[in-house]
Structures are given as structure tokens and as C-alpha cells.
Structure 1
């Protein structure tokens, strides 16, 4: 039961983080463009990242295809690692905190997904069933 709650809470928070980020990219485009430029990235990444973030959330929440869901987890993992790395490299460690929180949520969601979903991922640990022995 703990794994079920851990999955849904971590997944909801991870998806909320990604959707808030995508919304920020849409609402504050100029601010995001300036922030990306300070990190050394081109501004044309904004619509690409916005689209990919929304699609990753849709793939994980809908889980139409397990392989696509696992690919979304992998993409989020690399995105969060690169985001944290870029902020640390630019000597802005405060900007790496959302990425670090996202990594924790991502790992928790990925590791507990088989306990909550009917179709199991071959890459996540199998759900553990506890038996009560009298």
C-alpha cells in the first residue's frame, strides 16, 4: 500500500513540476529566453522544451504504451541531470534545486510504478507483496 501512495504522490508532484515549468515557458517567454542565454543555450529551445515536457507528462500519466512511458522517464532523467549541471556550471546552485527535487520525485515514481500500474515496466523493480505469517 505504501508503494501505491508513493507512486501517485511522487508522480503527481513530478508532473506538476513539469507542467509548471512548461507554463512558465509559455507565460514568461522573454524571461526564460534570458535565463537560457545566461546558461549558454539558444532561445529556440523554448518551444521544443515546452512541447517535450507536456508530452512526457502525458506519456507517464496516460501510460498508453509502457515503452513510451519508460522513454519519457529516461528523457526526464537526462533533462533533470543536464538542468542541474547547467545551473551548477553557471555558478547558480539555487537554480539546480528544482532539478534535484525533480530527480528525487522521478526516482521514487519510477521505482514504485509497478506497484501501481497494471502493465508492468520491465525496467522497474517488481512490486513487492508482503505476506503475513502466523
Structure 2
């Protein structure tokens, strides 16, 4: 793949990942319903810290302040979407598709970032 195409794929996956994480963080903050987490087997007090972590992660990957922090942000996003995917499969609610999309977007963003 040409360098210009890799950059386009990286930017597209980063934008789509940002949209997904923004929607997720907004849902946690503005829904106010702890059943989002408790139905998946997680404690409800994780909603707000996770929303804040997602917002900080998005700021980190866009600011390019630190290579190390950017790597940690992508790692955090990866763990988040993997755990969400597994939790949705475990409870059988059929809501696993956004998590699978998140896995694909994180992997795409990370691998294209490494190649550019």
C-alpha cells in the first residue's frame, strides 16, 4: 500500500474510532442509567471514570503530545473494546457489533500508524 493510502486509512480509522468513543462516553455521562454497566456484570461506579478515560484518550491520540501516552491510549481503547465485546457475548444481549467495529478500528489505527 502506498504511503498516501496508509495515511488516509489511518486518518479514517482514527476519526471513526473518535466518533465511536465519543458516542460511548456521551452515553455514559448523559444517560445516567447505571443499568448500562450492571446488565453486563460491571459495577455502575465505573461509568464516569471510563467516560473520562475515553475523552482523555481521544485528546491524547489527536494531540500527539507524547508517543508513549498515545501508545497507552490505543492500548486502553483496545482493552475497552475487547472487554465490551466479551461482556456482550457473555450476557447474550446481541449488542456486540459496536465493540467488534471498535476492535477493527483500533487495530487499523494502530497498524497504519506504525507503517506511516
Report 1:93-104 matches (<5 A): 94-104=94-104
Gaps of 5+ in 2: none
Q: Which has the higher contact order (CA 8 A, sep 6+)?
A: 2
The whole-number CA distance in structure 2 between the counterparts of 1:67 and 1:3 is 21
Q: Number of matched residues?
A: 113
Alignment of 1:113-124 (within 5 A): 113=113, 124=114
Q: What is the root-mean-square deviation of aligned Cα atoms in Å?
A: 1.0
Q: CA deviation at 1:71?
A: 0.5
After superposing on structure 2, the runs of 4+ consecutive aligned residues of structure 1 that deviate more than 6 Å are none
Q: Which runs of structure 2 are paired with 1:1-134 in the superposition (5 Å)?
A: 1-30=4-33, 33-92=34-93, 94-113=94-113, 124=114, 126-127=115-116
TM (normalized to structure 2)? Answer: 0.93
Within 2, Cα distance between the matches of 1:22 and 1:87? 17
Give the greater-gyration-radius structure (CA): 1
Whole-angstrom CA distance in 1 between matches of 2:104 and 2:43 = 28
In structure 1, runs of 5+ residues without a counterpart are 114-123, 128-134
- The structure richer in helix per residue is 2
